[in-house]
Chains A and B, each alone.
Chain A
Amino acid sequence: MTLFDVVFKGNDAVYGLTESAINDAVAKYGEEKAVGFPDTAYCLPCYYSVTGVKVTNLKELKEALGVVKTLMTREQKLNDAFMSGVATALCAEFIEALKYIDGAAPYAEPYYGHLADAIIRELGVPLVTGDIPGVAVILGKAPTAEDAVALVKSYQAQGILVTMVGECIDQCQSLGLNMGYGVRVVPLGADVTSVIHVVSVALRAALIFGNVEPGDSASLMKYTMERVPAFVNAFAPLNEVIVACGAGAIALGFPVITNEETFRVPKSLIVQPDVSKFNATSLEARDIKIKITKIDIPVAFASAYEGEIVRRGDMQVEFDGSRVDCFELVHHKDMSEVEDHHFELIGPDFDEFPVGSKQSIGYIVEVAGKNMQADFEPVFERKFHSYINCIEGVMHTGQRDMIRIRISKATYEAGFRAKDLAEVLYARIKSEFDAVVDKCQVKIYTKAEDCTKLRHEMAIPMFDKRDERLSSLTDETVDVYYSCIMCQAFSPSHVCVVTPERLGLCGAVSWFDAKATNELDPAGPCQVITKERPINEEIGEYEDVNEAVRKFSQGALEDVSLYSIMEKPMTSCGCFECICGIEPFSNGVIITNREYAGMTPLGMTFSELASMTGGGVQTPGFMGHGKHFIASKKFMKAEGGVERIVWMPKELKDTVAEKLNATAKEVYGIDNFTDMIGDETIATDPETLVAFLTEKGHPALGMDPLM
C-alpha cells in the first residue's frame, strides 16, 4: 500500500464514523439543533477557516459533511493526500462538536478539549517573541511512562507549549506530572479526534493574526506553514486514522516525527526510532531555535513556568509587599561603582526563615555601561516579573514596592537560596540587555529594618521621580515616536505606532520600551518615526507616520491616525489586551478585555468583537489597545476622549479606576468618573445601560453622535 493509500483508508474510516455520528445526532435531536464550541467567534473554527462557512446547527453540519466529501479525491498525488488529511481533520472537528451539544462539558480534568479564542490571543505575543518557541502535539502511547514524562519535560524546559492526545496523558498522570495551561502542558483529550482542538488554535491564529480570509485555504496553509511553529510527535503504532490526521498536519506545514518505521518525507514525515531524540529531531525539523537560558541554579528556568502558581500550602517562604516592606529596583551607576557578577546578601538567607512565614525583601540590581541611560531602568525592572516567574517553583506578582514572591518547598528543598534569585536577575539582564549593560551586580536585603529604610528613602523617591518624568512626557513633548513590528512574524501587515501616551496595543511595549528596543537593536523591530509634518494634529495624523506605516506594512496600510477610532484608526494585530467598540445608543464606546469572557452591551463577547478586527486591518469604530491606554488623554481624543467610555467589565474598571478618574478630573472636571461607567453587574444590554447612564448623567449622552 502506498503512503497515500494509507491516508485515504484512514480518511474513509473517519468519514464513515462522522457520517453515522451526525445521522445519529439528527435522529436524536432533529436538524435544527444548534452545534458549536464555547468561547469562540469562529464556529466551527476549522471548517470556517477552510471554507468560509459558519456551521451553527445539525442541518448545516450535514451539508458541511457533503462539502468535506468533495475534498476526498483519490488520485495518487500529494494534493489528494493533503486534502484527505484536511477532510479527516474536519471530520474530527464535527465529531468533537457533537460532544458539545446542549452546552455539555464533555471534557473533565485533566482534559481541556476545545480551547477558547482568548487563549489564542494570549499566545500571540509569546509566540512572536519566541518566549513560546514552538507548539508540540504529542499523540499516542510512549514506549514507557518515563519516556512520555521526559519528552514533555524536555519541551517544557524550552518553553514549548505541549498539547497531548491519548494515552501519553495517562502515562504522565501516572507519574504525577503537573499538567495544565499554566505550566504549558495541555492534555486535550483521550480520543484521537481531540487533536483537532490544537489544529483549531493554529487555524484561528491565521484568522486572528494573519488576516486570512476564511475560505482562502491556500493562504491559510501558507500562514500556518510559515508562522505557526507547531509539530507532531506520534508514537508507534500508527493506524490509518493517525496517518490521515498526520497528512492534515503536514498539509498545514507541521512535520510529524514518529518512532514507527514507515515512509519518510524530508522535513515532513521523519522516522526517529529513539524517542529520547524526539525533541532534538522535532526542533530541527521545524527550524525552531531555542534561546539559551541555561542559568546555574538548582531548579529549572524556562518560560513554561511563567504561569505556575505556588499555593499557600506548598510555600516555603513568602515576601509580600502589601503587608511588609518590599521593593525591587534597577539602579544605574558609574562603571567604577559596579563589580560585574558581584552578589551581596545583607540579612538572613531563606533557610533562616520559618516555613510558611511572611518576610521582607528588597533587591537592587545595579548596572553600568557606556550606553546605559536612566530611561532604561524601568524597562529592565518591568522584566523582573517574567524573569522570576520563569524559575521553577517561584511565583512573582506586582512590581516596584508592591511585589509578592513565593518560593515553593520543593524549590527550596532543591537548594534554591537568595544567591540563586540574584543569579537569575544577573544572567537575564546580562543576556537580554548586553548591548547596554557592561556590568551588573545584585544586592539583596532581607532584614525588615533595612527594607523599610531603603524602600522609603531610596526606592519610593526614585519611583516618584520616574513617574514625574513619565507624566511630564506627552506626545507633544517628545520629538519622535516609534514603530513596533514585533508582531509581524505573526501578523504580517500590522504596525503599531508607539507614543508616550499610547502604548502598544499588546500592553507590553511602552514608548520607553520601544526607545530602549531601538537603541539596543537599531535594525530591530522598533524604528524611530519622526513627527515633523503634521496633517491633522487633532486626530493625530502625520505624513511622517503615514510614510513609516506604509513602509513597515509593506504597503498594506496607507495612513493612520493616532487618536481616532473612527477615522483611519490604528490597526490591531490580534494580541491586544482590550478592544473598544462604539455603542450607538449612548454615543459612547464600550471596552472589554481578554480576561472577560462574558457578554457586552454590543451583543458580542470579547472574542466576537476581536474577530471583527485584528490581522492588521483598519476597522473604523473598533480598535484594539492596551489597558494602560484607557486612562490616556489621547484615548480617542478625536472623538472627545475618555468621557466617551460608557461600559467596561467590572474588573477592568477597577483596575484602571484610579488613573481614569484622575484623567477625567483633569480634562473635564468630573469626579469619580468610573462611577458613571456601566459594567456587567449593571447591564449587558443597551437599554438597561442607557437607562443607567441617563440616571448617572453620563456626559457621552449629550455629545455629538459618533456616526
Chain B
Amino acid sequence: MSEEFRLTDLEEMEAATERLLETGAKVGADSWQLRVKNQTPHCKFGEKGICCRICAMGPCRVTPKAPRGICGCDAAGIVGRNYLKFTAGGGATHSDHGREICRTLYESSADGAYKVKDPEKLKRIAGEWGVETEGKDIYDLAHEMAEKALMEYGKPFGTQNWIKRAPEHTQEIWHREEIAPRAIDREVASSLHMTHMGCSSKPEALIRQSLRMGLADGWGGSMCGTEFSDVLFGTPKPVDTEANLGVMVEENVNIVVHGHDPSLSEMVCEYADDPEMIAYAKSKGAKGITVSGVCCTSNEVAMRRGVPMAGNFLQQENVVLTGACELIVVDVQCIFPALGPLSKCFHTKFVTTSPIAQMPDSEFIRFSAKTAAENAKSIVKMAIDNFENRKPELVHIPQMKQKATVGYSVEALVKVLDGVCNTQVDTMGTTKPLIECITSGVIRGAVAMVGCNNPKIRPDKAHIELMKKLIANDIVIVASGCSAQAAAKAGLMDKRAKDLCGAGLKRVCELADIPPVLHMGSCVDISRMMILVAELAKDSGLKISQLPVVGCAPEWMSEKAVSIGNYVVATGIDTFLGVDPYASGSEEVEKLLTGGIRDWVEAAYTVETDIEKLVDKMIERIEEKRTAIGI
C-alpha cells in the first residue's frame, strides 16, 4: 500500500532550516538570514531605482526637491536606464551561458567527454536553419551548427535565427516595433551604450531596448543554451526524482552541484556513477556517492538524469549546514560568495570552476570542455577523500523530501499529449489536446511560474501558495528554475498532487498521467515555454496574447529574471511580478511597463507584492482572456 501523500508545508521547511542554523551558530557561521537583518532597511533610492551612478559626477538621487540629476536627467530617465542596464546584465548572463554550451558542442566528438546524445534534434534544428544534413557525419554537423550558433552572438546583419519559430503575427509585431533582436552581443552592447552618460534618457526608448535585449536572450542566447544542451545531453523526458535536503544520504559521500551550466554537472554525475569511484568511496568508509543539486544546474541534471534536487536558491547554505556535504562544486550564476567562508566552518570543500565565477575561500579547478573528464574525476575524488574529515557531531540532514516527476521538455509534453489523442480522429505531434482542454473549459488556462527566491518574500511561500491556488482553480502550471524546485520540495510535482486540483485539472492529470505542476527545466529553459506558447498559438490559430496564459515570477531577485520578464512580455504574455523591478521611482516608467507597452507587444507587467492579490489577479486575467475569445 502506498504511503499517504501530503505536501510539505512551509512551517516544516522553516523548522528544518532553524535546526540547521543552530548548527551554524555552534560553529560561528554567517547566514543570509543574519545578513538580511544587517542590510535592512534597504536604501530607498536604490529600491525605487532613482539612484544614478553611471558617471562620476554623482551619485545622484532624485527627490521632489531635487527632481533632476546633475546632467539634468529626470526620474524617468534614471529609472529607465537602470532598468535597461539590469536587463542587459541578465541577458548577457543567460546568453553567455548559451555561448558556453555552443562551445561545448563545438568540442563534442564521438570518443570525447562530450557526445551528441540527441542527433535527431540537432538535425531538426539544422533543418530549421537551412543547413544540409544529408550524408554528413553527426559531429561534422555538430561543429558546423555550433559555429553557426556562435555567429548568432555577433552576426553583423539580420536578426536572430530562432525568432522564425514564433508565430507570424508575433514576428510581425517584433519587426513593426523594431524590437526583433539582432546579434546577441550587439543588443548587450547597444543597451550599455544607450545607458551611458549622455545617451538615452527617454523612457520609451529605454524600455523598447529592454524588450529587444530580453528577446535577444529568450529567443537568442537562452534558446541556444536550451536547445544545444538537449543536443549534447539529451532532450529531457519524464523521469522520477526527489527534492529537498532529505535527498542527501548520511552514509554516502555527498557532492552538491550548484550553478547553471550543465557541462560541468553532467560530467560530475557521470563520474560519481563510475564503479571505480564508488569502490573508492567504499574504501574510504562511505556506502556510496550521492550527487544532489542546488539551483538551475540541479534542474538540468534532474531533468535529464533524475539526479535529486537538494534545494533552491535560498537553500544553498543549508546544504553545507548539514555537515554532511563533502564538496559543493559550482559553475556560474546565483552562487553566494558566502559559501566560501561558510565551507570553512565545516569540512566541506567549496570548488569553483569557471573563470566567470571566481570567489575567495574556494578551491579553483579550471574546468574546460577539453579537460572535462579529468576535471570531473578529480572533483569526485576530492569529495571522497574529504569524507573522513567529516565532523560527526555536526551532521544533521533534515529527513524531508518529496517525490517528483520532472523532465517536461516541449518534446516530452507533446508526447504526453499524443498519449491522450485518439488515433481515429486526431493528428499526433501537436499541442491540440491541450488546446481542447482549454477551449472546453476543463483547464481554465496555464501559468508559467518562474524565478528565484528573494528574502523580501518568505522563501517559497509565494511559489507554493500561488501554485496551490492555481491548480485548485483548474489552471495548469509549467515551472522552471527555483520556482520549479519550490514546487518539487512541497510535493506539487508528485503525480498524487492531482488530488489538490480542481476536478478539471485533476482529470487531465489522471488521463495524461502527469503532475499538475510540470517541470520544464532551468531558468535558461524558459525558452522552452516560449516554444510551447508559439506552438499553442499556431495549433489554435490564436495570437499568443489571446491564449489564457500568463507568466509569473513571484519571488524573483536576479537581473536574469528581469531579462526573462522582458522577453515573456514581448512575446505577448502578461507577466506578474511579486517583487518590484526597481521601477517605482518613476510613474512614467511604471505606467509604461504595466500598460503602455501593451500597445506595442499586446502584453504588459502587473506588479503586486500582496501574494494573495497577485494570484487573484492572474486568475482574473485568465478568465478575461477566455471571455475575450468566447470560451
Question: Which residues from chain A sit less than 8 Å from chain B, CB to CB?
Answer: 2-4, 76-79, 81-82, 225, 251, 263-272, 277, 280-281, 284-285, 554-555
B504 within 8 Å of A by Cβ? Answer: yes
| Given A2-B631, A284-B424: A264 touches B440 (CB 8 Å cut-off) | yes
Give the CA-CA distance A272 to B421 in the complex, in Å.
Answer: 12
Residues of B within 8 A of A265 (CB): 436-437, 440, 442
Q: Which 9 A-B pairs have the closest CB atoms?
A: A78-B504, A79-B503, A266-B420, A281-B424, A266-B433, A263-B440, A264-B436, A78-B503, A265-B440
Residues of B within 8 A of A270 (CB): 422, 425
B171 within 8 Å of A by Cβ? Answer: no
Beyond A77-B502, A79-B502, list 8 extra A-B contacts (CB 8 Å): A2-B631, A263-B439, A266-B421, A266-B511, A270-B422, A272-B425, A280-B424, A284-B422
A-B contact pairs, 18 of them (CB 8 A): A3-B441, A77-B444, A77-B474, A77-B502, A77-B503, A79-B502, A265-B436, A265-B437, A266-B436, A266-B437, A268-B442, A270-B422, A272-B424, A272-B425, A277-B425, A281-B425, A285-B422, A554-B1
Give the CA-CA distance A285 to B631 in the complex, in Å.
Answer: 24
What string of 1s and 0s marks CB contacts (under 8 Å) between B496-517 and chain A?
0000001110010011100000
Question: Which residues from chain B sit less than 8 Å from chain A, CB to CB?
Answer: 1, 417, 420-426, 433, 436-437, 439-442, 444, 473-474, 502-504, 507, 510-512, 623, 631
Residues of B within 8 A of A554 (CB): 1
Residues of B within 8 A of A280 (CB): 424
Residues of B within 8 A of A77 (CB): 441, 444, 473-474, 502-504
In the complex, the chain B residue whose C-beta lies closest to that of A285 is B422
Give the CA-CA distance A78 to B512 in the complex, in Å.
Answer: 17
Residues of B within 8 A of A78 (CB): 441-442, 474, 502-504, 507
Residues of B within 8 A of A4 (CB): 441
Residues of B within 8 A of A269 (CB): 440
Residues of B within 8 A of A268 (CB): 442, 507, 511
| Given A79-B502, A554-B1, A555-B1: A267 touches B440 (CB 8 Å cut-off) | no
In the complex, the chain A residue whose C-beta lies closest to that of B417 is A266
Give the CA-CA distance A264 to B539 in the complex, in Å.
Answer: 14
Residues of A within 8 A of B437 (CB): 265-266
B450 to chain A, nearest CB (A): 26
Residues of B within 8 A of A3 (CB): 440-441
In the complex, the chain B residue whose C-beta lies closest to that of A284 is B422
A238 to chain B, nearest CB (A): 14
In the complex, the chain A residue whose C-beta lies closest to that of B510 is A225
Centre residue among B1, B423, B440 by max chain A CB count within 10 A: B440
Residues of A within 8 A of B507 (CB): 78, 268
Give the CA-CA distance A225 to B510 in the complex, in Å.
Answer: 10
Give the CA-CA distance A268 to B440 in the complex, in Å.
Answer: 11
Give the CA-CA distance A324 to B425 in the complex, in Å.
Answer: 56
Residues of A within 8 A of B512 (CB): 266
Give the CA-CA distance A270 to B432 in the complex, in Å.
Answer: 13
Give the CA-CA distance A285 to B436 in the complex, in Å.
Answer: 15
Give the CA-CA distance A272 to B422 in the complex, in Å.
Answer: 10
In the complex, the chain B residue whose C-beta lies closest to that of A281 is B424
In the complex, the chain B residue whose C-beta lies closest to that of A4 is B441
Give the CA-CA distance A266 to B440 in the complex, in Å.
Answer: 10
Residues of A within 8 A of B423 (CB): 284
B503 to chain A, nearest CB (A): 4
Residues of A within 8 A of B502 (CB): 77-79
A243 to chain B, nearest CB (A): 12
Centre residue among A3, A77, A225, A280 by max chain B CB count within 10 A: A77
Residues of A within 8 A of B511 (CB): 266-268
In the complex, the chain A residue whose C-beta lies closest to that of B473 is A77
Tell me which of B421, B441, B510 contacts A76 (CB under 8 A).
Answer: B441
| Given A77-B504, A79-B502, A272-B425: A267 touches B420 (CB 8 Å cut-off) | yes
Give the CA-CA distance A630 to B587 in the complex, in Å.
Answer: 89
| Given A78-B504, A264-B436: A2 touches B425 (CB 8 Å cut-off) | no
B507 to chain A, nearest CB (A): 7
Residues of A within 8 A of B440 (CB): 3, 263-265, 269
Give the CA-CA distance A669 to B574 in the complex, in Å.
Answer: 89
B195 to chain A, nearest CB (A): 46
A464 to chain B, nearest CB (A): 48
Tell me which of A79, A81, A266, A277 contacts B424 (CB under 8 A).
Answer: A277
Give the CA-CA distance A285 to B422 in the complex, in Å.
Answer: 6
B432 to chain A, nearest CB (A): 9
In the complex, the chain B residue whose C-beta lies closest to that of A270 is B422
Judging by beta carbons under 8 Å apart, are B420 and A2 in contact? no
In the complex, the chain A residue whose C-beta lies closest to that of B439 is A263
Centre residue among A81, A263, A265 by max chain B CB count within 10 A: A265
Residues of A within 8 A of B436 (CB): 263-266
Residues of B within 8 A of A81 (CB): 441
Give the CA-CA distance A32 to B1 in the complex, in Å.
Answer: 47
Residues of A within 8 A of B425 (CB): 270-272, 277, 281
Centre residue among B424, B433, B503 by max chain A CB count within 10 A: B424
A648 to chain B, nearest CB (A): 39
In the complex, the chain A residue whose C-beta lies closest to that of B424 is A281
In the complex, the chain B residue whose C-beta lies closest to that of A283 is B424
Residues of B within 8 A of A263 (CB): 436, 439-440
B619 to chain A, nearest CB (A): 11
| Given A3-B440, A266-B433, A267-B511: A82 touches B420 (CB 8 Å cut-off) | no
Centre residue among A268, A554, A555 by max chain B CB count within 10 A: A268
Give the CA-CA distance A642 to B507 in the complex, in Å.
Answer: 51
Tell me which of A2, A225, A251, A267 contacts B422 (CB under 8 A).
Answer: A267
A290 to chain B, nearest CB (A): 15
Residues of B within 8 A of A76 (CB): 441, 444, 623
Residues of A within 8 A of B433 (CB): 266
B5 to chain A, nearest CB (A): 15
Centre residue among A225, A267, A271 by max chain B CB count within 10 A: A267
Give the CA-CA distance A281 to B424 in the complex, in Å.
Answer: 5
Centre residue among A264, A284, A285, A555 by max chain B CB count within 10 A: A264
Judging by beta carbons under 8 Å apart, are B441 and A79 in contact? no
Give the CA-CA distance A3 to B433 in the complex, in Å.
Answer: 16
B360 to chain A, nearest CB (A): 55
Give the CA-CA distance A555 to B512 in the complex, in Å.
Answer: 29
Residues of B within 8 A of A79 (CB): 502-504
B377 to chain A, nearest CB (A): 42
Give the CA-CA distance A271 to B421 in the complex, in Å.
Answer: 12
B586 to chain A, nearest CB (A): 39
B272 to chain A, nearest CB (A): 35
Tell me which of A2, A82, A266, A284 contacts B503 (CB under 8 A).
Answer: A82
A498 to chain B, nearest CB (A): 24
Residues of B within 8 A of A281 (CB): 422, 424-425
In the complex, the chain B residue whose C-beta lies closest to that of A554 is B1
Residues of B within 8 A of A285 (CB): 422
Give the CA-CA distance A270 to B512 in the complex, in Å.
Answer: 16
Give the CA-CA distance A280 to B423 in the complex, in Å.
Answer: 9
A257 to chain B, nearest CB (A): 9
Give the CA-CA distance A272 to B423 in the complex, in Å.
Answer: 11
B386 to chain A, nearest CB (A): 43
A485 to chain B, nearest CB (A): 15
Residues of A within 8 A of B504 (CB): 77-79
Residues of B within 8 A of A266 (CB): 417, 420-422, 426, 433, 436-437, 511-512
Give the CA-CA distance A265 to B503 in the complex, in Å.
Answer: 14
A88 to chain B, nearest CB (A): 16
Residues of B within 8 A of A225 (CB): 510
B458 to chain A, nearest CB (A): 29
A223 to chain B, nearest CB (A): 13
B259 to chain A, nearest CB (A): 39
In the complex, the chain B residue whose C-beta lies closest to that of A218 is B499
Give the CA-CA distance A77 to B506 in the complex, in Å.
Answer: 12
A589 to chain B, nearest CB (A): 34
Give the CA-CA distance A3 to B441 in the complex, in Å.
Answer: 7
| Given A77-B502, A277-B424, A284-B424: A2 touches B1 (CB 8 Å cut-off) | no
